[in-house]
Copies of this chain bind each other. A is one copy, B any other.
Amino acid sequence: MNAPIASRRRPSPEALAAVLGELEARFGERAVVNASILEQHGHGEGLADAALPDVVVYPHDDEEVAAIVRSCAAARVPVIAFGVGTSLEGHVAAIHGGVCVDLSQMNRVLEINAEDLDCRVQAGVTREELNADLKGTGLFFPIDPGANATLGGMAATRASGTNAVRYGTMRENVLGLTVVTADGDIVTTGGRARKSSAGYDLTRLYVGSEGTLGIITEVSLRLYGVPEAMSAAVGQFDDLRSAVQTVIVAMQMGIPVARIELLDEVQMDACIRHSKLEGYAAKPTLFFEFHGTSASVAEQAELMQQLAAEHGGGAFRFATAQEDRSKLWKARHNAYYAALALQPGSFGFSTDACVPISRLADCVLETRADIDATGLTCPIVGHVGDGNFHVLVLFDPHDAGQRARAEGLASRVSMRAIAMGGTCTGEHGVGIHKLEALVAEHGKAVGLMRTIKRALDPLDIMNPGKTVPLEQATGDGR
């Protein structure tokens, strides 16, 4: 079914020189080969996996992105899209060299249609910038992966985060895209209607494609009315199973909680120290947020408190004022830094298992036992309403044994989730680190992904080596 495709290698010096010459002529000082800029663009925030691009270019509009891709296509030079570099799976590492397209100067909010609850932004707008622009409209964009990522990057990795249990992920909230294809064409997908049955769902195909099928240059998004009322609550439990069981029952009952975050005792200990949270114990803890009318928020909180009490949880502590809620969520967002502080000098990375809710307690508890057996210090945090949790794996980068144990643990976390009917990545993506796990999870479907990659990027220039393994692996069709 597939035409043979040349396997990817670093571009030849001649090809690269040709592209560099064209980029410098067109972009002048916006085509940069300075070493520290290359270094900054060679990695995200995941496991050390830097691989430098040959040049970083800062386009201002779709046409400029298209011109870059056309130059690269003519010379078969790799093109890697870059937002703010917060991705976790090596998505931006230029493992075959090439041109890094930094979209941070494409940061205009193009339209806000308040009456339709939608907007259109350039790919380099960050989620915090968008929400700042929305101030005063009564609307907000809820998807919150923690990092202040760009909306283009969030679309490309199908990001989600703390609010997804109520508002969905980028999959549900992107209405349409503008994409520069592998041959440098500018194509718009989707539309502004809330639903459509008109043709193949190209929008969903590009959401999560990690720059391997084209570069996302504009994103149209659904917005939501700022809820009339919001309150946050914290519940603490004597053991991990009770906390997780509380979540499972809440989800089965359909309580429309906006956020349910788990911090295990190791993570809670770290957060108490790092964020100076007062009056909390280093015990398994759930952070909740409720959105709705005043009556509905009160009703949700009461139901959750009842459920928690039935599972041995203590009385909730509420935070209704904006300031108190912010302090709590800031502590949650800083969980990664709090964890690093547990073991100064260590390196940390995050796993990303997501399982059907009925398996969540088993998966978390087996993982906790697995961690403890490794002797590593690893907190667990999670967007548990979705069945998604992260192990923050800390290790000493100078200790080869620790690193091997850390990587072994991460691999087992992925495989355990897959064996329980879940996924190796709930929200971080595949990048370069999860190619094997992808094959374990999707089997023959990886063959279809490969066919699509080859059809839409026949020269294999779009972020090569990521997302879909082009060479066939065992257990995977075609």
Q: Which residues of A are in contact with B by a Cβ distance under 8 Å?
A: 1, 3, 113, 115-118, 157-160, 164, 168-169, 171-172, 181, 183, 185-189, 191-202, 204-205, 207-209, 213, 224-225, 248, 251-254, 293, 295-296, 299, 352, 354-358, 386-388, 417, 421-430, 434, 437-438, 441-449, 451-456, 458, 467-468, 477-478
Contacts and interface: CB of A to CB of B under 8 A. Distances in A.
Q: How many copies does the complex hold?
A: 2
12 contacts: A115-B252, A169-B195, A185-B444, A189-B445, A193-B386, A194-B388, A198-B425, A198-B434, A199-B208, A199-B445, A199-B446, A295-B296
Nearest to A248: B115
Given A197-B158, A199-B467, A201-B207, A181 B448 contact: yes
A445 B202 contact: yes
A426 B193 CA distance: 8
A178 B224 CA distance: 34
A300 to B, nearest CB: 9
A187 B444 contact: yes
B444 A193 contact: no
Given A1-B455, A116-B358, A188-B442, 11 more contacts: A118-B356, A157-B197, A158-B196, A185-B444, A193-B388, A195-B388, A197-B423, A198-B425, A198-B430, A204-B205, A452-B452
Nearest to A434: B198
Contacts of A454: 455
A197 B452 contact: no
A339 to B, nearest CB: 22
Give the residue among A355, A438, A455, A467 with the most B Cβ atoms within 10 A.
Answer: A455
Which residue of A202, A434, A446 has the most chain B CB atoms within 10 A of its CB atom?
Answer: A202
Query: Which of A3, A251, A423, A443 has its CB near the most chain B CB atoms (within 10 A)?
Result: A423
A356 B187 CA distance: 21
Contacts of A196: 158, 354, 423, 425-426
B451 A188 contact: no
B427 A197 contact: yes
Which of A117, A197, A477 has its CB near the most chain B CB atoms (within 10 A)? A197
* Top 10 A-B residue pairs of the complex, sorted by shortest distance between their CB atoms: A455-B455, A204-B204, A196-B423, A115-B358, A193-B354, A116-B356, A158-B197, A225-B254, A192-B421, A193-B422
A388 B193 CA distance: 9
B116 A357 contact: yes
Contacts of A425: 196-198
B202 A208 contact: no
A159 to B, nearest CB: 7
A250 to B, nearest CB: 12
A193 B387 contact: yes
A11 B17 CA distance: 52
Nearest to A293: B299
